Amino acid sequence: MTRSADEFLICVIARMLDGAGHVAVGAASPIPGAAALLMRELTHGRLLVSMIHGRANNPFTDGGREVFDCAGQGRIDVFFLGGAQIDGEANINLVGTGDYPAVDTRFPGSFGSAYMYFVVPKVILFRHEHTRRVFVPKVDFISAPGVSPPGVYRPGGPKALVTGLAVFSFDEGRARFRLESVHPGHTVEEVLDNTGFDVDVREDVPTTPDAEPDRLALLRSTIGAEVADVYPDFAARVLGAAAAGAASPGAG
Amino acid sequence: MTSHETVEGLAARVPDGALLAIPPEYSFVPMAMVRALIRRAVRDLHLLAVPTGGLAADMLIGAGCVKTMEAAAVSLGEAGPAPRFTEAVTTGAVVMRDSTCPAVHSALQAAEKGVPFMPLRGLIGSDVLKHRDDWTVVDDPLGEGGGPIVLLPAIRPDVAVFHSPRADTGGNVWVGRRRELVTMVHAAKTALVTVETVQETDLLADEATAAGTLPALYVTAIAEAREGAWPLALAGHYDADAEHIRAYARQAKTPEGFRGYLDRHVFAPAVQAAS
């Protein structure tokens, strides 16, 4: 079955949610959001998914603070963050490039990252664009640090990084990423060439498994409508187009 | 006693230099009021987004109403970056005080409780903290082994504004589950609320509606504004005008385009007559 790059990434992230109890999805995260809704469907609702923007799939009734209070108590197992820049120690920058505050390029801002990165046990970093522009030796602004010194309360942190080219794990003790798999059609060399920091590389790096046909079908039939509630433009562009058979055969 | 006024009347109550709190994009944004504030040419606002900003913040910044912006983020969501915000912050025309979502909520909760500060986890090691000279890191003062923790001073807005589906004649305002509005208003010195309709039935008379109601004791003044959240959504009542917001995102990329947008959608006589 042909699938788009976005659909492939949704399936990659969905596998990482296996066994989780409660996944929260924040602003501007349509691909992780779709992955979470897909896993909820596959687990017959055992996975609780909280979309913190929008009405459907948003269980919170005590205002914008509730998701953060909930996470602070340890009631959220998985959260997603991205970054305009991400460095080798998993520091993320959602604010801007150049010298803050007179930045060259300004991005929306840190959102809840400076808190959620500390308290949610499994944070999955996701960034589609895999270039040296994104994966830099050192971020220009630390919205949230990848690791903390001893003594700082930090039950949470980054566990994995998913990009348009590959999947990495993160070792908090060593503050280093490790290349775990490379997406179909890409090579280890290509990944390393486009990464601006050193990473560990596992032996015989496998190819990231492709999207499962039954999950793709589910994504196009059931999940699209649910995603549309929170990310209407994304749902129309990615899942709508895919359903109409217009998707290009992406290689991830 | 809550005063019943016009939208322009409410806008006149926001003084230059006020610390003005506005709701996030998904939560009852008073766009008719924002347009009235731009017409009233309010200046030097310290704008607080609770906790993130969107179209309202972008328009107020573009129209020259804002001196300082405090937010965890400002964007137009799926319509892309907030163009006037981005330019103003890059050129230094507006001073940005970067925050993080729970910090805004917590600082308002401190004001809500009448206490001077609130502690918050996280933040340590981030440049958000490094650039906030008003935030302090202390060791767990109770000696319970909690380690270092950040203290955030209470934020007490001069004015909080939002748009609700309905109020009653007594000035009680329906907020439903949008309880960030309750925190925002509790923390603020005054609250100005626009509503789709004012009903005779007392919202506090029925337990089912009372639980989702902001009582009049916090509400300074209300005004009717039909489709007062347009072009944003009013959850449960109407959807966002996504095409309009996309068009704004394109036009507001240049100062001239933004000016044209204001002329058509804020200053045109027909718009003013309708508000």
The pair of three-digit structure tokens given for residue B198, joined into one six-digit string: 């004012």
A95:B131 CB<8 A: no
B-chain residues within 8 Å CB-CB of A27?
Answer: 52, 73, 75, 77
pLDDT of residue B273: 66
CB spacing of B100 vs A112 below 8 angstroms: yes
- Contact B33/B60 with Cβ under 8 angstroms? no
Q: So what's the pLDDT on residue A244?
A: 35
Return d(Cα A169, Cα B269) in angstroms, integer.
Answer: 59
Report pLDDT for A243.
39
Q: Is the pLDDT at A55 greater than 80, yes or no?
A: no
pLDDT score of A94 more than 80: yes
The residue of chain A with its CA nearest to that of B182 is: A63
pLDDT in the model for residue B26 = 87
Contacts of B121 in chain A (CB under 8 A): 72, 115, 118-119, 153
A119 contact residues in B (CB cutoff 8 A) = 121-122
Residue A85 scores a pLDDT above 60: yes
Q: Given pLDDT bands bounded at 50, 70 and 90, which one contains residue A181?
A: very high
CA B177 to centroid of chain Cα atoms: 16
Q: What is the pLDDT of residues B212-245, one digit of tens each?
A: 999 999 999 999 999 999 999 998 899 999 999 9
Q: Which pair of tokens denotes residue A174?
A: 């060593």
A148: nearest Cα among B3, B140, B81, B149: B149
The predicted-structure confidence for A185-203, as pLDDT tens digits, reads as follows: 999 999 999 999 999 999 9
Q: Quick: pLDDT tens for B27-68.
A: 899 999 999 999 999 999 999 999 999 999 999 999 999 999
Cis peptide before B231 (omega within 30 of 0): yes
Regions in chain B scoring below 70 on pLDDT: 273-275
Q: Does A252 or B180 have the greater pLDDT score?
A: B180
